[in-house]
Amino acid sequence: MAAGPYPEAGQTAETGQTAGAGIVFAPYGLVWKQQRKFSLSTLRYFGFGKLDLEPKIIEELQFVKSEFSSAVGMAFCPSHVIHNAVSNIICSMCFGKRFEYDDEEFRTMLNLIVQGMKLASNSPAMLINVIPLFQYLPFGPFKEVVKTVRDVTAFLKNIIDQHRKTMDPENPRDFVDFYLKEIDYQRHKKQNTSFSEDYLFYIIGDLFVAGTDTTSNTLLWAILFMAAHPEVQERVHKEISAVIGESRPPSLKDKLHMPFTEATIMEILRMTTVVPLAIPHMASETIDFKGYTIPKGSMVVANLWSVHRDPSMWEHPDEFNPSRFLSPDGNIVKNEAFMPFGIGKRICMGEQMAKMELFLIFSTLLQSFCFKLPEGSDAPNMAGQFGLTLSPHPFKIIPVMR
Ligand code: HEM
């Protein structure tokens, strides 16, 4: 077991430390409710999913635009810039700081997350959860899992330690300070509580990972889809020119007047379904469904990918067609089978924030750039690579100034 408040590097589910902690993997119940409620309301205080967050996103986008501008006319892989930018938005709320795009330590951290997402769906590597002794094998995926866990742990542990040393309870600076304050308050009241440094470690890990990989991959897909479908890109360009123009940055208030851009983002979310399998849910009652009995307490995993490609719900589901989300008079139409953020009580906690980021980042990039595939390059692989999230295979595009 961990000696200190944090899990030791390399600990596995078997040690009792990693199973069911945080929000994403916490079992449904009081602890999950308390932690989700506290996290959501504290993040809302920092603008999560609200207009207040807009200036922070726009500020980060100045750095993104500058990176894309220096790659104009060249074949360029946008992956690191997008991951770093999206991560900075959640980092600024959680840790009170952003990281420069050439910060080597942070670059390594982001690579570890991408790596971790792939390893998490690698069944041999995950044998470590069943046979923890495998973590001591000095080769293969087991060694990699242990190293990934150790490095991510050290990074997050350092952030919590620094906050403990420097926090002023009267002036909490960010999510971590608020959480530490809540721990102290509950300890002072001698309440039997789930709030602890240990739990904070998992919560910020969840927010950092869930808030970075999903949104970044959706944006990378969006850039790739625009380069692969110039006719759609041109319609988005036209809408941006008509509604926003060139002299000011896009604002969330523009979204209402930009149905084609919104429909394009929705179609990218549908086609790519970056979280193809939602997190495990549990049947709260025994139910009969299509001739099968699902007993109370069974684990149920929704296959969002199959819902988004179901031919009985979508016409020509494998075709990229943003207009499927538009009515004949050009307004957004809803489809009950559209559920990229999941469904039910465990629906994505970051949905509102993700939608803001997707609209602002996508429209800001397309306001300034046109994306092209490098001449003579093979057709891009649109199948994606499966980890916990579905990411595009590494690709290069050429940004051209509009
Ligand atoms: C395009 C971006 C995103 C997509 C497509 C997405 C999708 C999802 C999906 C499908 C789930 C599982 C829901 C279910 O099982 O029904 C989920 C859960 C979750 N997401 Fe997201 N997400 C995105 C962005 C974010 C962001 C930005 C954050 C936070 C900063 C976030 C935090 C979470 C958390 C904490 C959960 C677990 C909720 C719970 O178990 O109560 N997500 N997300």
Q: What is the pLDDT along the chain (402 residues), one digit of tens a residue?
A: 233 333 333 333 333 344 568 898 888 888 999 999 999 999 988 887 777 889 999 999 999 999 999 999 999 999 999 999 999 999 998 988 899 999 988 888 888 777 766 665 555 545 545 555 555 555 555 566 677 778 778 888 899 999 999 999 999 999 999 999 999 998 888 877 889 998 999 999 889 888 899 999 999 999 999 999 999 999 999 999 999 999 999 999 999 999 999 999 999 999 999 999 888 888 889 999 999 999 999 988 899 999 999 999 999 999 999 999 999 999 999 999 999 999 888 999 999 999 999 999 999 999 999 999 999 888 899 989 887 789 999 999 999 999
Ligand 1 center from residue 210 Cα (angstroms): 6
Instruction: Tell me if 210 CB under 6 Å of ligand 1.
Output: yes
Residue in the block written with tokens 């959640």: 90
Instruction: Tell me if 354 CB under 6 Å of ligand 1.
Output: yes
Q: How confident is the model at residue 136, as a pLDDT?
A: 52
Distance CA 129, CA 150 (A): 16
Instruction: Tell me if 203 CB under 6 Å of ligand 1.
Output: no
Following DSSP, what letter does each residue of 167-234 receive, concatenated? --TTS--SHHHHHHHHHHHHHHTT---S--HHHHHHHHHHHHHHHHHHHHHHHHHHHHHHHH-HHHHH
CB-CB contact of 204 with 228 (8 Å): no
Ligand 1 center from residue 341 Cα (angstroms): 6
CB-CB contact of 17 with 32 (8 Å): no
Probe ligand 1: pick from 219, 221, 343, 348, max atoms within 8 Å of CB? Answer: 348
Instruction: Tell me if 339 CB under 6 Å of ligand 1.
Output: no
Instruction: Tell me if 361 CB under 6 Å of ligand 1.
Output: no
Probe ligand 1: pick from 117, 271, 341, 353, max atoms within 8 Å of CB? Answer: 341
Please give the structure tokens belonging to residue 63: 């750095």
Q: How confident is the model at residue 135, as a pLDDT?
A: 53
Nearest to 75 by CA among 379, 400, 402: 400
For atom 14 of ligand 1, which residue has the closest CA? 342
Distance of CA 276 to the CA centre of its chain: 13
Instruction: Tell me if 268 CB under 6 Å of ligand 1.
Output: no
> Which CATH architecture does the domain made up of 13-401 adopt?
Orthogonal Bundle (1.10)
Q: Which atom of ligand 1 is nearest to the CA of 22?
A: 35
Residue in the block written with tokens 């075709």: 319
Distance CA 65, CA 246 (A): 14
